[in-house]
Structure 1
């Protein structure tokens, strides 16, 4: 039997119309229920596009005014080692084509209020986020050097609970490769605080239920191997990742009230080593060894390390000459970058 072509065309048209209606209804249902399964989103003002929200992370360092026996105002800014190195670090983390952030991660500079406004304004021009804080009461703490008198103030970073993770980097650090991926290092995952009653001191503050504190062992000399020994117990706190916590901050303060609880020669480093001792309830976790090296040598750089902890602005003859030369190049690059940018704005 022959089928009328008009009948066939009508059937096809009805089928397509039905399919279109079904598709439209399903899209509408999906839009109505999408909030149940989509992750949190935010809108960009420029294009009104949906983007998945990410944890708020930051780089940070600490700058005090008491690093010069002769007084801060008597030292030219370009000869103030810690201030100069903070500027170089800001350039490296925020603007360098080879070492800078690819994720627009902010760089916080925690400053005591006696750091001059001139220096704070310069750091803001450089792109840093200056965070002014009050010094901690450190009565009874006798540091090994006068320039370390205020370093315990860096613990106030743990009060910045608007951030989920912060990577602290000492100002005297050379960065040669990006550090963004440190926030994805598996050792920066939140840890459950241990409950071993033998490790709980009744005169100390309450421990948080969870914490995150990750760093690396202090190799204690230039003759270290690369990769370094992974079983070191004492950590160097010139480079560490952590999750801010008011409970943890209060716990640290409780330790400051207990004379003899930790050696105050290196105040904040020894406090953190005690609070996060490897056999305690909040042991520090070892970051990948290549993120940062203390007592650095050229072989560490050639081995692939990303950053190096040393005061390359001073005349210490023990510093590795290759790394010192790279830091000086970074300083010159930083000065040229800001000079060019500011000349362009005139």
Structure 2
């Protein structure tokens, strides 16, 4: 059977076209974002270009002026003892180190760390945090006359809600400064609880004296254990949220809704100011119920059992002398603190400071 000349010519043309395309792809100078932009150092994984990371995410914490009862009278006196009297500042520095620099904490330093500061945090402390690698955001305080916290050191905690004004970020993980991190936390941004939710429309849960609700929202966290005597994994049916560790999407509408609640005396119990406001705003039977994160991301009232079970971060003030704190976890935090001190000392000596 004789081949059709037209068929032969068509096959030759297709072959030449395919070869030309292949040659063009091999010889052209590609700058596509599907390739790593920087050659990885030995032993490290490739880091993708920032434009490939997708939604802009961040870690964040909150720092107000020293409210500890044993605080020194002046900032200069505090500096002379290396701020040992300011546990929250010390905790913020250790947290920054764990998230940005520590190899033992499994850090991912491509994610920024924000420290939201009230204006009465000294310039010296803000500068130190900036040198540590944090992004310092200074804000006005947020409060209401009728909100009287159960503990004096919580007097400015409402101000942490100003994080919801940082709408340049798509997701933020808030972590209290008194947190020990032992494993990477960047996976929390992919937790299914951090998917955007449609706000409910139950008319019985809409109050005419409150601000408007956003059309969508995202607020995910975990329940409060209220003590060290808890199982791991914990009870999945906890209804009262703990706001020492939560993921959210910043929203001006949501922030305005929160501030509208501050104008309504008695709408929530002010004893735990921002925590009870968030528990009211995101109550399980409301139109914006909070979603539970995987239990292993963070544990409050933590124990060695939680750590051995695989939890990744632990909420407790390990800088103080509270005898109820788990000794194993306290020892790990102290090791991280010592590691941080050595890291910055070496870095600053190397730079000639």
Structure 2 length as normaliser, TM-score? 0.86
Question: Counterpart of 1:64?
Answer: 64
SS state of the match for residue 58, structure 1? strand
CA distance in 2, matches of 1:342, 1:92: 18
Do structure 1's residue 21 and structure 2's residue 27 form an aligned pair? Answer: no
Q: 1:338 to 1:322 in 2, by over 3 A?
A: same
1:117 alignment partner in structure 2: 123
Cα RMSD for the two superposed structures:
2.8
- Is structure 2 residue 314 aligned with structure 1 residue 318? no
- Residues 1:341 and 1:20: Cα distance change in structure 2 (over 3 Å): same
Does the Cα contact within 8 Å between 2:68 and 2:85 map onto a contact in 1?
no
Q: Residues of 2 paired with 1:242 and 1:253: CA distance?
A: 17
In structure 2, relative to structure 1, the CA distance for the partners of 1:194 and 1:245 (3 Å cut) is: same
| 1:226-241 equivalent positions in 2, closer than 5 A | 226-241=232-247
Shift of 1:57: 0.2
In structure 1, C-alpha distance between the alignment counterparts of 2:330 and 2:251, rounded to whole Å: 36
**Which of 307, 310, 327 in structure 1 is aligned with 2:333?**
327
Structure 2 Cα separation of the partners of residues 257 and 62 of structure 1: 23
Cα distance, 1:78 vs structure 2:
3.0
1:12-51 matches, cutoff 5 A: 19-21=15-17, 24=20
Shift of 1:21: 3.1
1:105 to 104, 111, 114: 111
Match of 1:209 in 2: 215
Could you say which residue in structure 2 is the equivalent of 1:274? Answer: 280
- 1:22 Cα deviation from its structure 2 partner: 5.3
**Residue 146 of structure 1: CA displacement?**
1.2
- Mapped to 2, the partners of 1:329 and 1:298 lie a distance apart of 16
The SS at the match of 2:84 is helix
Match of 1:173 among 171, 179, 182: 179
Determine the C-alpha separation between the residues in 2 that align with 1:203 and 1:43.
53
Instruction: Structure 1: give runs of 5+ residues left out of the alignment.
Output: 1-10, 29-37
Count, aligned residues: 327
- Alpha-carbon distance in structure 1 between the residues aligned to 2:212 and 2:303: 41
Q: Is the 8 A contact 2:185 2:297 kept in 1?
A: yes
Q: What is the SS of the residue equivalent to 1:79?
A: coil
Q: Contact 1:161 / 1:245 at 8 angstroms: preserved in 2?
A: yes
State how far apart, in whole Å, the 2-side matches of 1:206 and 1:266 are. Answer: 24
Q: Identify the residue that residue 6 of structure 1 maps to in structure 2.
A: none
- Please give the residue correspondences for 1:301-312 in structure 2 after superposition, counting only pairs within 5 Å: 301-312=307-318
CA distance in 1, matches of 2:194, 2:325: 31
- Offset, 1:80: 1.3
Q: CA deviation at 1:248?
A: 0.1
- Between the aligned partners of 1:262 and 1:161, the Cα distance in structure 2 is 26
Q: CA deviation at 1:136?
A: 1.2
Give structure 2 stretches of 5+ with no counterpart.
Answer: 1-6, 25-31, 40-48
Aligned equivalent of 1:292, options 292, 298, 302: 298
Per the alignment, in what secondary structure is the counterpart of residue 155 of structure 1?
A: helix
Matches of 1:309 and 1:107, distance apart in 2: 18
